[in-house]
Chains A and B, each alone.
Chain A
Amino acid sequence: MVTLEKRPEPSEPWRWLAPLLAVALTLVAGGVMFALLGKDPVAAIRMIFWDPLFNETFAAYARPQLLVKAAPLILIALGLSFGFRANIWNIGAEGQYIMGALAAAGVALALYPLDAWWLFPLMIVAGALGGFLWAMIPAFLRTRFGTNEILVSLMLVYVAEAFQAAMALGPMRNPEGHGFPGSRNLQDYPAAHNAELVAGTGMHWGVVTAFLAVVIGYIALNRHLFGFQVRLTGQAPRAARFAGVDADRLVVICLGISGALAGLAGMFEISGPSGQVSIDFNIGYGFTAIIVAFLGRLHPIGILLAGLLMALSYIGGELAQFGLGVPAAAIKALQGMLLFFLLGVDVFTNYRLRWKPGRAG
């Protein structure tokens, strides 16, 4: 008989092996799914995971796009990871992302057509602040009234979406837009445009910030008292209290960091790749980032890799859609499998299989 036995210590090799095994299992199960859909499984997998990186027709364009797509995911996931480690669950990064974007775009549009070097830095501050303040609502309600931050932060996503629609149709609507919803395009507004730093590389300030955040996040988590408090609170909340960790303060800091980073992600997106306040500017980065955070084991380097892998599956998934006629839902299923297998395989980090002589028959 096979039983699961808790390991005394989480297995270090499994910690690294689990994601790799999960990716391998996803490729196999995904291949089976594509075969069942009547598509060549090898061709589909190659198109999704190989062609964006190495196919000569697409790679030159797709490689930089990988950074563009991954940057907001990494930035948001990194912010969420601190809270998740400490059992503080910000599920509403999508709303903070929206509010950051609106705050930044609002500043830019209010000053239109300003030509000043300080506009862009001001937008960055506004973006971070917008996300931060939106995250302070669940933080305040939890620390003051003991409400559940999962529900509050999630519900505030819908409030933010409604606010965004109102902005796109009202105050931020493009006066030269023939009555259609949506703001001016910030890509046509040089002082506010988050342009590529070097043309054709995909590198914009958001990508730079995401990389910087990974480095700072790594240091904070491993070399700083804050990281210690976060880890301790997650593993042993009572011990953390005895060690002098102020639980309320930690809630505020964790929600604040994740809100500010989500707001920054929204700011860089709306001033760059997206360009416009529209009724549906947000496309789920705040929710996908939750997957990225767990796929990356709540570890900064892991999140960096997970974000890139997720971006690859989006970009390659599009190629497979128009190249092979794979339905979009199959790509989503593939992304879901990745998380599913990771969580499944993760069991072996904390448990091991034991053969126990059972009764015959």
Chain B
Amino acid sequence: MTMKRRTVLAGLAGTTAAAALGMPALAGKGKVKAGYIYVGPVGDGGWSYQHDQGRKAVEAAYGDKVETSYVESVPEGADAERVMTQMALSGHDIIFATSFGYMDAVQNVAKKFPNVKFEHATGYKRAPNVATYSSRFYEGRAVIGTIAGMVTRSNKIGYIASYPIPEVIRGINSAFIHARKKNPDVEFKIVWVFTWFDPSKEADAAKALIEQGCDVIMQHTDSTAPMAIAEKAGITAFGQASDMRAFGPNAQATAIIDNWAPYYVDRVGKVLGGTWKSEDTWGGIASGMVAFAPFNENLPAEVKAAARKMIDDIKSGAYHPFTGPLNKQDGTPWLKPGEVADDGTLLGMNFYVEGIEGTIPS
């Protein structure tokens, strides 16, 4: 009881002091409490693990001025809504919801807690206290597509795809375009596994692709299983979301790393400084949100050089992975020579580019 009283009085004193000094009421906070909800376990070695690395970077950056917490394996829907509500009730200032499926839950909770800030990964619904953020992973796919096109001997590249959503289709297109640029004989074999994280399904898909003659495998799923299979089969693969070298020391050419740390440090810093605003961020290689694991030493020098050039060109803005001339799968023109795809088309991408075989399941 006395404790609480004291907190109230201290709070009042603080407000008075702030008013006396003429500071704006909405100025920065002395201490920020940041909460994270993850769709998978922090030990998934992929998507949720990388978000948690970002959370740790926030702690490292601000020390005592920040307190972070997280809840892992939160199902999308009612459970996410409940967890975020409890976080808001317990005094969190900013809550990061790190899965697309949390979108409507974020909106519902944000309406109830206008003073709490929300950040929703990969979604498109914003509000005055809801910001959205995502990464241009297709930039990373352009780099690994380049490598894949150069290292394949069988000219067959396997692709383990999760769900037929724009994010995944964009990745397939970007990887294919750049593999073809280096090797016009390349073909893609795409397996849809309809899961983000299921080691046994992913392993089965990897085995099936290898049996069909693929000697390079890419994955848009989160487990390390395909990497382990590739290592055993002696072929090349690419880590997804985080560095998976431990599971494929010879197989992993590189990995596309989701580096959320710079974004999280920036956003929590803005809450501390009182300058947080709702906005939409779609960062890529240039902002550090898409990063790469070190190239494997077993890659030929010219492959490494080509990959590095691709990274540099995207980073400097000299090159956009979706630059014309590009046709859609059915042969209809999409981008004229030199024309660059706009973000709106990319965000809603629901078609393959010319040359990819098969249809997008629906």
CA distance A170 to B361 in the complex (A): 9
Within 8 A of B (CB), among A39-60: 57-58
Residues of A near B73 (CB, < 8 A) are 328
**How big is the B interface, by class?**
35 or more
Residues of A near B74 (CB, < 8 A) are 318
Is A281's CB within 8 Å of the partner chain B? yes
Q: Are B194 and A279 in contact (CB under 8 A)?
A: yes
Chain A min CB distance to B132 (Å): 12
Taking a contact as CB atoms closer than 8 A, the residue among B77, B104, B164, B347 that contacts A169 in the complex is: B164
Chain A min CB distance to B150 (Å): 32
Asked if A178 meets B77 with Cβ closer than 8 Å, knowing A58-B90, A327-B72, the reply is: no
> Which of B76, B86, B361 has the most chain A CB within a 10 Å cutoff?
B86
Residues of A near B71 (CB, < 8 A) are 318, 321-322, 328
Q: Closest residue of chain B to A185, judged by CB?
A: B104
Instruction: Mark interface residues in A280-320 (1 if CB within 8 Å of B CB, else 0).
Output: 11010000000000000000000000000000001100110
Is B35's CB within 8 Å of the partner chain A? yes
Is A346's CB within 8 Å of the partner chain B? no
Asked if A65 meets B82 with Cβ closer than 8 Å, knowing A187-B104, A275-B104, A325-B69, the reply is: yes
Asked if A276 meets B77 with Cβ closer than 8 Å, knowing A179-B165, A182-B101, A322-B87, the reply is: yes
Interface residue count on the A side (C-beta < 8 Å): 41
Q: Are A178 and B124 in contact (CB under 8 A)?
A: yes
Within 8 A of B (CB), among A321-339: 321-323, 325, 327-329
Residues of A near B166 (CB, < 8 A) are 178-180
Is B100's CB within 8 Å of the partner chain A? yes
CA distance A66 to B178 in the complex (A): 52
Count of inter-chain pairs, beta carbons less than 8 A: 100
Q: Closest residue of chain B to A314, judged by CB?
A: B79
Q: Are A178 and B76 in contact (CB under 8 A)?
A: no
Taking a contact as CB atoms closer than 8 A, the residue among A68, A169, A273, A280 that contacts B101 in the complex is: A280
Is B350's CB within 8 Å of the partner chain A? yes
Asked if A328 meets B163 with Cβ closer than 8 Å, knowing A68-B78, A187-B104, A322-B87, the reply is: no
Is B45's CB within 8 Å of the partner chain A? no
Q: Are A322 and B90 in contact (CB under 8 A)?
A: yes
Asked if A169 meets B361 with Cβ closer than 8 Å, knowing A181-B165, A322-B69, the reply is: yes
Chain B min CB distance to A65 (Å): 5
Q: Are B163 and A279 in contact (CB under 8 A)?
A: yes
Is B296's CB within 8 Å of the partner chain A? no
Residues of B near A182 (CB, < 8 A) are 101
CA distance A341 to B37 in the complex (A): 31
Known: A179-B165, A278-B77, A322-B35. 9 other contacts (CB 8 A): A61-B86, A169-B361, A181-B165, A274-B78, A276-B77, A278-B76, A318-B74, A321-B71, A322-B69
